[in-house]
Structure 1
């Protein structure tokens, strides 16, 4: 493709429309999920709201409902959500837990001493939150917002059902009509550029501060805010929000299971899809999590241009639709290694490329809070690098590894386009069977697969919710100069 042809493709009005839709959806969703995630986490952790454990589980539960299942629930009830406002609403309700959970974990680890000092200097509770609490939450907030942004850039199924065109849905249409047409390639290039810009903004916002303490100290947790007369209003707000996040999709699912004209329960097909989904998710999670360990270690323990390039490079492919990554692997395998085409190893490579950032973000967050001094002490006592990692570093980052693995499992079990193109012949998953039925407007036939998808996602979601409230093994992070 020559420069002139590339220019002609880029200046088309359609590209401008897609760019506007994608950017506005990205900004709206990231802002909404950040505000909701931080506010919900603060209410659950820092106030005396009644039934706190229950609200924590309910606020984390939307992770068990894939975004395209959530869209299916809303669209099958009303087509009014097929708009920009509807897309922001549904995507926000699906992805805000990616901010909520890490912020809960960070708040659980914060001690009250810095806040006590701020209040003793005359700062109000609100100003203390903005100037003392929020800066210490920045790694969790930025990491969660980055994951949300990457999800939005790569989202296909939910936006296709919501009839809201973005680069992802347009690329899918281009490749379906022209396989590897130039227009699809150009759109994919613009999408990668948006991803790089998002990563750059997150890197600039994060800065070069370190967050690990070198000692435990004698801190104490912050006292919870007494809601008093505000408790009924807070409870009502939480109830209304949970109704939107869980009530609507679950009610829609129950409706179609009960009265859908196409509803059926083919036990053989359901069992086969369930087995394939769990097996592929477990295998892909193991491979992806193992690959995340060295990337996170380089990013935290060996900071520099090379380490940053490696880490940031893992995020770029995450912004690409699964169909783009899958078609690239198809081309490479057919031309270079034909025996790999439509095999399990090639599908696992695709999963690792697409979902590595989910594991890296979690492992990196834990590693940043693991004091490097402990590694130095271990090596000074004669322990090898491997022994130090196994006996000192690994136990400290185990919570992050578990959280990252759970995120990857959730992502793989709901992956659509990559699985359709790369899975061995005859392999079906719950996500692909759900999509085949829902895209044909057979809502009743899709409902059993949606129900199983939710059930498969519950254990990983429970692990993430439990891990977020786990007491830290080392003292809470404070900001230190790099």
Structure 2
């Protein structure tokens, strides 16, 4: 309590430079407990393992040999093909995602809430299933056109979700002021709304770009050569892994450059409100005579991304004979898929928990390094992760080579960023003062984590685990290389049957994969709307 001789300090007065930081900042800067640092360090080391593999393998025969691979004309062709496909898909996804977000959030679109859920369902349809549907219906689409179409229809929700969330969070007063000054709806959108959406759109576009660069299934089915297909071909065609490693290193450099470019597009402008603002929604814009066009636009996109693949699968299921149906094999493959996906989601969530808590509750060099290392999976495609783990298992852990634990570790490396981001966001929403109260009552760091932090963050952590479960079920290239001998998942069986042209035999596995992935995808869509 402040004594009568000294007046209470003004909370709003600036602090001298030598004044101590508030308690919250002192806690954030404190070192994290060892109970968090040890497992977080293990997760970080696992995440950066593929990068170490690339450095060792690419230089195994000397820098000159690696440079010959990188400087080869074939590498340049793969680079141009990959960048061209990425640019086309990102541009299309930005148009689709931003337009759908604006229609479902800021306009009087009939059934806007239902459309908000429907446009997230393509997350349950893997890109190679979309490619399978369009290729079986129109074989002439094979190549760049079919690859761009399949990847766009599978990945535009990555732009829609963050842009829709940004539209719900931005202050509609800016747009109202613009309209009061005489700006029309289009000019207001282009000059006021769109600049506020730039960070969300850029982030979504980055996710799409990373997805396209790491995709293997769609481009393989469409027979369009990109870096991932070139790496897989090089790995299968030769016992020398150096060319595959050199190509993977180029792909990693491309993804790092994309992340840096996305960071620059954010700029330094402030897009947040200066205060908490008024909790009100924007007045929905009337569509008028454009209402049928808007409904048609939403309907065509949902039909093309979800309805058409389901219709094609229904057609192949209907014409399939008893020879193409194997209920026992389908059931066993589905159970295997659920098992490895559940194992991957569990391990990934356990590894992400200490990293997410440290990232949310602490600052400093250690916390920054652990968080950045955990995000290394963003820069490494699945096929590169598989090559790294094969190299590690053959040399240092032979008993786990081509065993299920190695495949689950690959899922953890690939999708650790997904779980870390969800965990960090969930922990940030939990008041840190409750951790202080628990410590003041004598709880150990582990007790605080178990009894306070984790229970408060559990809904967000569970959402991250559900999303990780979905992407583990759909993962293809790492599963192809690391699955135990004789084991199939729905993704690998679909890829095998489609590669041999057995569309009717592939249809049951594709339908089962969509059905299993649709449930958590639907729940995630409802949770975010």
TM-score by length of 2: 0.79
* Unpaired stretches in structure 1, ≥5 consecutive residues: 470-482
The residue number in structure 2 matching 1:331 is 391
Could you tell me how far apart the structure 1 residues matched to 2:163 and 2:522 are? 16
- 1:142, distance to aligned residue in structure 2 (A): 3.5
Q: Are 1:358 and 1:404, in contact at CA under 8 Å, matched by a contact in 2?
A: yes
1:164 corresponds to which of 224, 245, 248: 224
More displaced stretch, 276-285 vs 197-206: 197-206
Q: Are 1:299 and 1:307, in contact at CA under 8 Å, matched by a contact in 2?
A: yes
C-alpha change, 1:402 and 1:145, in structure 2 (3 Å) is: farther
Q: Are 2:131 and 2:146, in contact at CA under 8 Å, matched by a contact in 1?
A: no
- 1:358, distance to aligned residue in structure 2 (A): 2.5
C-alpha change, 1:442 and 1:377, in structure 2 (3 Å) is: closer
The residue number in structure 2 matching 1:105 is 165
Task: Output one character per residue of 1:258-298: Cα deviation in whole Å (capped at 9) or x when no partner.
Answer: 22468622121111111111111112112212333444455
Aligned length: 466
Could you tell me how far apart the structure 1 residues matched to 2:62 and 2:308 are? 49
Q: Are 1:192 and 1:316, in contact at CA under 8 Å, matched by a contact in 2?
A: no
Task: Output one character per residue of 1:123-178: Cα deviation in whole Å (capped at 9) or x when no partner.
Answer: 55445545554455455433322222221111101100111110000000000111
Tell me whether 1:200 sits opposite 2:257 in the alignment.
no
What are the equivalent positions in structure 2 for 1:367-406 lying under 5 Å apart? Answer: 370=429, 374-376=431-433, 379=436, 382=440, 400-406=460-466
Could you tell me how far apart the structure 1 residues matched to 2:447 and 2:275 are? 22
Could you tell me how far apart the structure 1 residues matched to 2:454 and 2:190 are? 33
1:145 corresponds to which of 205, 214, 230: 205
More displaced stretch, 306-315 vs 402-411: 306-315
Task: Output one character per residue of 1:168-213: Cα deviation in whole Å (capped at 9) or x when no partner.
Answer: 0000000011144322121111011111111212233346788888
1:92 corresponds to which of 139, 146, 152: 152
Q: Are 2:135 and 2:146, in contact at CA under 8 Å, matched by a contact in 1?
A: no
Q: Are 2:377 and 2:416, in contact at CA under 8 Å, matched by a contact in 1?
A: no
Q: Are 1:73 and 1:248, in contact at CA under 8 Å, matched by a contact in 2?
A: yes
Tell me whether 1:259 sits opposite 2:319 in the alignment.
yes
Could you tell me how far apart the structure 2 residues matched to 1:400 and 1:417 are? 28
C-alpha change, 1:227 and 1:64, in structure 2 (3 Å) is: same
- Detail structure 1 runs of 4+ shifted over 6 Å in the superposition: 208-215, 383-393
The residue number in structure 2 matching 1:455 is 515
Task: Output one character per residue of 1:298-342: Cα deviation in whole Å (capped at 9) or x when no partner.
Answer: 555546666555444444434444333223212212221222223
Tell me whether 1:357 sits opposite 2:417 in the alignment.
yes
Task: Output one character per residue of 1:2-43: Cα deviation in whole Å (capped at 9) or x when no partner.
Answer: 333223222221111100011111122122212211211111
Could you tell me how far apart the structure 2 residues matched to 1:364 and 1:157 are? 31
The residue number in structure 2 matching 1:281 is 341
Q: Are 2:171 and 2:273, in contact at CA under 8 Å, matched by a contact in 1?
A: no
Could you tell me how far apart the structure 2 residues matched to 1:346 and 1:278 are? 16
Which secondary structure does the structure 2 equivalent of 1:50 belong to?
coil
C-alpha change, 1:323 and 1:285, in structure 2 (3 Å) is: same
C-alpha change, 1:430 and 1:146, in structure 2 (3 Å) is: same
C-alpha change, 1:154 and 1:180, in structure 2 (3 Å) is: farther
- 1:241, distance to aligned residue in structure 2 (A): 1.9
C-alpha change, 1:215 and 1:100, in structure 2 (3 Å) is: same
The residue number in structure 1 matching 2:95 is 35
- 1:239, distance to aligned residue in structure 2 (A): 1.8
Tell me whether 1:82 sits opposite 2:139 in the alignment.
no
2:407 corresponds to which of 337, 342, 347: 347
The residue number in structure 2 matching 1:7 is 67
- 1:405, distance to aligned residue in structure 2 (A): 2.3
Q: Are 2:361 and 2:432, in contact at CA under 8 Å, matched by a contact in 1?
A: no
Q: Are 1:262 and 1:445, in contact at CA under 8 Å, matched by a contact in 2?
A: no
Could you tell me how far apart the structure 2 residues matched to 1:236 and 1:378 are? 51
